Copies of this chain bind each other. A is one copy, B any other.
Amino acid sequence: MLSKGLTQGTVPRLERPGPLRERVYETLLELITSRALRPGQHLVESELATHLGVSRQPVREALQRLSTEGWVDLRPAQGAFVHEPTDEEADQLLTVRTLLEAEAARLAAGRADAEGIAGLEELCDRGEAAARAEDVERVIELNTRFHASVLEMAANAVLAELIGQVGRRVRWYYSPVARQRGMASWIEHRELIAALRDGDGERATRIMRQHTEHTRRSYHELRPS
């Protein structure tokens, strides 16, 4: 039942300016990542269009973009289905993210300045505080911002773009896991900052590798399937 996930209360009404397809894209992505639209669910263009108050065309374009980015599967003459992640795929995605994040850390180590380090320290402080307060939402947000900051220091737009896509899908797959390991994560962040301050690219790479690798282990412990 589609209407189950598209009641008026849960759908952010399109308000902000900008191309319509863009807003539809963001809305659908939000609905998918938030599990309002569940994996395997059949997305009907006309239904989405009606519920969002637009015509089919912007919905089509949004769906196709979602398709190229791996969020939905677009079966010919049949329509769009929310992608169903497999364990194998989740594993591969995490492998790639580990790789990309590690490289970002390495690049960041070669460019880190005092100001950037200070910003990371502050995020770390706030992250630990949120972890102690068990404010899960805030922990996740700060974690994302921490990684984004490292990425910014790496100064590689292409790398940032890729991590943005891969990372978001990883967070989607692993969101049940992410809540588990709040505190340990921030201790590792401290180590990373130290490596960045010293400009030690190799150590930063290694730490980031371990950091994301821990996430993988948590995942497999949680789902020993």
Cβ–Cβ contact B61 & A156, under 8 A: no
Partner of A156, one of B92, B100, B103: B92
**What count of chain A residues pass the 8 Å CB interface test?**
25
Cβ–Cβ contact A156 & B69, under 8 A: no
Complex: chain B residue closest to A60, CB-CB: B61
CA gap between A95 and B158 in the complex, in Å: 9
A75-105 to B contact mask, C-beta < 8 Å, 1/0:
0100000000000010011011001100100
Cβ–Cβ contact B96 & A99, under 8 A: no
Contacts of A158 in B (CB 8 A): 89, 92-93, 95-96, 166
Cβ–Cβ contact B92 & A99, under 8 A: no
Cβ–Cβ contact B162 & A76, under 8 A: no
A95-122 to B contact mask, C-beta < 8 Å, 1/0:
1100110010001000000000000000
Partner of A68, one of B69, B99, B107, B166: B69
Cβ–Cβ contact A92 & B162, under 8 A: no
Contacts of A60 in B (CB 8 A): 61
Excluding A68-B68, A89-B157, 12 further A-B contacts by CB distance (< 8 Å) are: A61-B64, A65-B68, A68-B69, A92-B156, A92-B157, A93-B158, A95-B107, A95-B158, A96-B158, A99-B99, A158-B166, A162-B166
